[in-house]
Structure 1
Amino acid sequence: MSLLEVRDLRVTYGSGADAVPAVRGVDLTLEPGTKLGVAGESGCGKSTLALALLRLLPASARIEGEIRLDGDDVLTMSWGRLRAVRWAGASIVFQGAMHSLNAVQRIGEQIAEPLLVHGRATPAAARGRVAELLEHVGLPAARAAAHPHELSGGQRQRVMIAMALACDPRLIIADEPTTALDVMVQAQILRLIELLVAEQSIGLLMISHDLAVLADTCDRLAVMYAGRIVEEGPARAVHEAAAHPYGRALSSAFPRIGDPASRRAPRGLLGDPPDPAALPGGCAFHPRCPVAVDGCTESDQQLREAGAGHRVACIHVGSTP
């Protein structure tokens, strides 16, 4: 049984004529001890997807499809069961730790809170567990007495990871966990996440706009555009030899070490993702696509095989553009 199975997930904000489709038929599978990265520009539906997995979206969102965590459908769980699953079965690391931590509460108290709420420890035992978790993420146990503003950005992010690990979840969802961190701290946080996944055989779903970071951290990558997965496959294959024009644009937007040409002239992509409330007909990427043909405007493209474990939603798959 897979740790996480997402089938035909659709998320819509509003209703009737004002309905806005943010996620449009996403399928994902994650096995224990593996790491799946989800990449895409801002506005492509990545964070909505992450929040939907634990039903953390506002009441205005309508979620359809299936989200199975260890075989149980998250969308049909009672609130009591869902409350038990959050933190204990699956936890989330939000981007921007300063906004996610309570500014007036000591970090030790915040890490201990899920332990106490879920009955995993007595107050005395929770203090010991907090010290253990802090040391596990590379912070001295004494930092439990600090307030968030007394920590650096990298230290606060480590606190968020410690909180996510507190109840020994089987799945961690990391939404842009290294945003706004300098490159040295970013590398430390990414190595820490990799080590924890390997040691504890947990599943990691990591979201980022940076395809290179995901390729270096994850086993598989899914590229998301306009609420859909347009490419999915082995991380290195997607990063280094993307078959979808959007995947290629994301990959080439960042200079590559050892490649002077890409450093001098990194290629990007003009324009922005479409407004979910006004999606173009056919393939949503065609207005920005450098290899679009007439057929791209007629119907949306479904994922199809493009190699071993590699699927792409593009009319050019199997032909030469």
Structure 2
Amino acid sequence: MTDLLSMRGVSVTYRTETGDVPAVRDVDLELASGEIVGLAGESGCGKSTLASTILRLQPQTATVTGEVLFEGRDVLTMGWGDLRALRWAGASMVFQGALHSLNPVRRVGDQIAEPIRVHTPEVPDEQVRARVGELLEQVGMPAVRARAYPHQLSGGQKQRVMIAMALACRPRLIVADEPTTALDVMVQAQVLDVLSALVHELGVGMLMISHDLSVLAELCDRIVVMYGGRVIETGPSKMVFGEALHPYADALSAAFPRVGDRAARFAPSGLPGDPPDPAALPPGCAFAPRCPRAIEDCTLAVPELLSFGDDRSAACIRLAEVS
């Protein structure tokens, strides 16, 4: 498969009153058409910051280095005209929390139609309305719901509207930033089914962001796990979820409660402490202060991301023992 998205050595630093804060550090990521890649990690690990570079949505206080290649063109250096054409038509984003992303005083059909009218102003209104109805049906909603206001829709329906909006201009890449976080498990399953079906039917690529490895394992082909702004493990989703190499990825997997598992019920897994402050990262491996397998050598140098066969890699000096 040819890479649709290729991120090489991407770093993002925020300027603050107290100094520079490195939110993302030297990240590489590849994604092909028809593939779903999951980006996992706790809040604050850099997932959303990394995703924002794909459409150049980071604030002015951010400095981005490296390359973000979309179909071979660097998003970070393209002009505003090309960037405007890329957004919605080349790549689009499904933001978390549809409740806060939709305009409460506009009908959802008008909001779905907006990017179509911006990118293809020559299309007659009748065809735009037909396209909106087609998009709603594509995500499992009747076309008549285009006349509804956001407050007249359930949480799951709002999220489907956001997905329809992201598909409006037939993009080749969709970035889904925690699209199921605010949904109950039944609606979450329905939305995941919609996303999976759309990717396989339309052949688009998708970057799915979540802190929940179980969601990513169900939906994604590959998973990229981040911690402290760096990638610490990558690999096929089933293997990362079931046989993680890095102790942090293993802890993320173990934190998900398994129905019928008495051990998990009476002794739920978790990690002590909190993720590191990106402005004051510990020496060596950023995970070492919370790692149950850490030794003194873990604090001496930042571990490299090393290949470990079967399209897997991990950043841990104790890789042989962990595996």
- Range into which the TM-score falls when normalised by the shorter chain: over 0.9
Which residue does the alignment assign to 1:59? 60
Aligned residue type for 1:278: A
1:281 alignment partner, SS class: coil
Which residue does the alignment assign to 1:43? 44
**Which of the numbers 256, 259, 263 marks the counterpart of 2:265?**
263
Structure 2: how far apart are the matches of 1:73 and 1:320? 37
**Taking structure 1 as reference, are residues 183 and 16 closer, same or farther at Cα in structure 2, changes over 3 Å only?**
closer
Question: What is the Cα deviation at residue 259 of structure 1?
Answer: 2.8
Which residue does the alignment assign to 1:309? 311
Question: What is the Cα deviation at residue 318 of structure 1?
Answer: 2.1
Which residue does the alignment assign to 1:203? 205
Which residue does the alignment assign to 1:189? 191
TM-score by length of 1: 0.97
1:178 alignment partner, SS class: coil
* Count of residue pairs the alignment pairs up: 321
* Residues 199 and 206 in structure 2, CA contact (< 8 A), matched pair in contact too: yes
Structure 2: how far apart are the matches of 1:15 and 1:162? 36
Structure 2: how far apart are the matches of 1:285 and 1:259? 27
* Residues 116 and 122 in structure 1, CA contact (< 8 A), matched pair in contact too: no
**Taking structure 1 as reference, are residues 99 and 15 closer, same or farther at Cα in structure 2, changes over 3 Å only?**
closer
Which residue does the alignment assign to 1:142? 144
**Taking structure 1 as reference, are residues 302 and 123 closer, same or farther at Cα in structure 2, changes over 3 Å only?**
same
Q: Name structure 1 gaps, 5 residues minimum.
A: none
Q: What pairs with 1:233-312 in structure 2 (closer than 5 Å)?
A: 233-312=235-314
Aligned residue type for 1:54: L
**Which of the numbers 123, 126, 129 marks the counterpart of 1:127?**
129
Which residue does the alignment assign to 2:95? 94
How large is the RMSD of aligned CA atoms in angstroms?
1.3
**Taking structure 1 as reference, are residues 28 and 157 closer, same or farther at Cα in structure 2, changes over 3 Å only?**
same
Structure 1: how far apart are the matches of 2:179 and 2:304? 30
* Residues 37 and 214 in structure 1, CA contact (< 8 A), matched pair in contact too: yes
Structure 2: how far apart are the matches of 1:3 and 1:262? 40
Question: What is the Cα deviation at residue 53 of structure 1?
Answer: 1.1
Aligned residue type for 2:196: E
Identity over the aligned pairs, expressed in percent?
61
1:14 alignment partner, SS class: strand
Aligned residue type for 1:216: E
Question: What is the Cα deviation at residue 15 of structure 1?
Answer: 6.7
Note the alpha carbon deviations across 1:8-32, whole angstroms, 9 max, x for none. Answer: 0000000797110000011000011
* Residues 245 and 322 in structure 2, CA contact (< 8 A), matched pair in contact too: no
Question: What is the Cα deviation at residue 294 of structure 1?
Answer: 1.1
Question: What is the Cα deviation at residue 123 of structure 1?
Answer: 1.9
* Residues 93 and 161 in structure 1, CA contact (< 8 A), matched pair in contact too: yes
Note the alpha carbon deviations across 1:140-186, whole angstroms, 9 max, x for none. Answer: 11111111111000000000000000001000000000011010000
Structure 2: how far apart are the matches of 1:234 and 1:260? 28
Note the alpha carbon deviations across 1:172-227, whole angstroms, 9 max, x for none. Answer: 00000001101000000001000000000100100000001101110000110010
Q: Name structure 2 gaps, 5 residues minimum.
A: none
Is residue 117 from structure 1 mapped to residue 118 from structure 2 by the alignment? yes
* Residues 14 and 60 in structure 1, CA contact (< 8 A), matched pair in contact too: yes
Structure 2: how far apart are the matches of 1:23 and 1:295? 24
